[in-house]
Chain A
Amino acid sequence: MSTVARPERTRLLEATLEELAEKGYRAFEVEAAVHRAHLSGEEWSNRFPDKDACLLEAFKELSGQMRAAIAGGSRAAGTWSDRVAAGLRALLAELARRATVAEAVAHTFPAIGPAAMTRYQQFVESLAPLLAPGRALAGDVELPRTAEMLAVGAAEAIVMERIHAGATATLPELGPEILFSILVVFVGPEAAGEAMAKERSRLRPSSGRTAGRSGR
């Protein structure tokens, strides 16, 4: 990996993820990650008292990158549904691009212990407020107060199932279906189905653009 013009900390945390993906949790060592990042000295090894502390920080870095991917994608113009679709597309593309790392983290990180599990849950929950604007589309309908969490949980479950199956690289294909499960909480099955069809036609433009409206 390139070592130019990136903060040392970022380099170390990325090296941590790469080491984890290659060697697994048992064989992972902070010193090896330090070496891989082309860093030297005891400073970095001392900064992380053990490998779990290093992995906690690496997860924080990775989850920040995933949030950034979602935020970047969802800045696209269009309806709320369009923006959710774009954010989801960006997230799935990023996960697929880093499939090996995503699978290693999914198998390893929450298993470190209760603190890591809490950190993982907090990351997933932190995505819920991004969906809050969807409430406006429900009109007079009073949605459950946990609507955003239901939507995020639906997406997380489908994504994690694919990751557990070792098929992370194929996640973008599932984008339209995941989009349905996110939107349906806010707009019901008909409008969510239209958005899913629109996203499908976007992914497969040669099959014809027959999708209906979306975003209600």
Chain B
Amino acid sequence: MAAECAAVGYRRVQIADVLVRACLDRATFDRHFQDKQDCALAVVDQILAETARAVLDADRPGLPEWQRLLAATMALLELFAARPSYARLACIEARHGMPAEAYERYAAGLRILSSLIDRIRTFASSMAPPTATRGALGGAEILIRRELIAGRADRLPSLLPDITYGTVVPFLDQQEALRHAELARELIRDGG
């Protein structure tokens, strides 16, 4: 389902084509899913669960907040790089192209990521407005979407320094944000 959505978009997906890709018959599909939407939502649920797990696994209480954010972001990018069709479904189709239930799941994923950024806000300049967290995530999202649409998911982990800068600069001094971006670069150089 994820691969078929990536190829033709959710709206044009035909269950018959999904079954051909999966080498399954209709009876098998019907045993597991009510319809196309049910199946696609299950895929979104799966990537959402994997995202939450990857982020939580990377999170090490006791480390500085920025370091926890860095590790979680890297885990997310590596997951999306490894599962590009799933990532595309979660980041693109669920946001724009699927029923409202999918958008709710996309929004739930954003809330998980927002909670990570909001911990950084503890150190924030008081000037950062309420929407700054959503804006910071939006900066990361557009870079991720660009690579997914261009079929360059393997490059996602290399975005870590820029995404790190974009997510912390609303809340920290600009030089501090650049320092975190440099640390992200070192993390990539050291192989994660």
A positions within 8 Å CB-CB of B: 106, 110-114, 116-118, 120-121, 124-125, 138, 141-146, 149-158, 160-161, 164, 174, 176-178, 180-181, 184-185, 187-190, 192-194, 196-197
Contact = CB atoms under 8 A, between A and B. Distances in A.
A91 B6 CA distance: 31
A154 B97 contact: no
A178 B11 contact: no
Interface of B: 6-12, 92, 95-98, 103, 124-125, 127-132, 134-143, 145-146, 149, 159, 161-162, 165-166, 169-175, 177-178, 181
Nearest to B128: A189
B171 to A, nearest CB: 7
7 contacts: A121-B145, A176-B129, A178-B135, A180-B132, A184-B170, A185-B166, A188-B177
What does DSSP make chain B's interface, helix, strand, loop or mixed? helix
B169 A184 contact: yes
A199 to B, nearest CB: 11
Contacts of A185: 139, 165-166, 169
B96 A117 contact: yes
Given A111-B10, A158-B134, A190 B139 contact: no
B9 A113 contact: yes
B138 A157 contact: yes
